[in-house]
Structure 1
């Protein structure tokens, strides 16, 4: 069995079928259908709270960051300076 990581998923504004998560400095967008877990009622938590934390296996995480990823963006950790 592969170890699990807890990921926090949030809605992508203006969509009903996309969520995003951040892992190792990158934000990934995926379809909700690729992360829904009926055993933990993840879709209900998303609809009610707009955010859900789910355990994700290493294999599923690799899929979410690879073939299932709709977009990948680097998260800036440096504050922007005024111009």
Structure 2
């Protein structure tokens, strides 16, 4: 069987192949990703951004002490890693 498109007879097989290739082409195009204009930020800048964006609010004095001890631990670990 065939269909008449723009005055020409086109077989079902060709329509099926065209549909599959068109679908695959659209999938590849949509998954390929965009262009990356900016260079990747360094690890230190990203770490600073995370520290600034994550705010920790303690609801009690015990939590505040815990957060302070965690911050001190992280600061000490960063100092040791630099040496």
TM-score normalized by the length of structure 1: 0.21
Between Structure 1 and Structure 2, whose CA radius of gyration is higher?
A: 2
TM-score normalized by the length of structure 2: 0.21
Higher helix fraction (1 or 2): 2
Higher strand fraction (1 or 2): 1
- Asked which structure has the greater RCO (Cα within 8 Å, sep 6+), the reply is 1
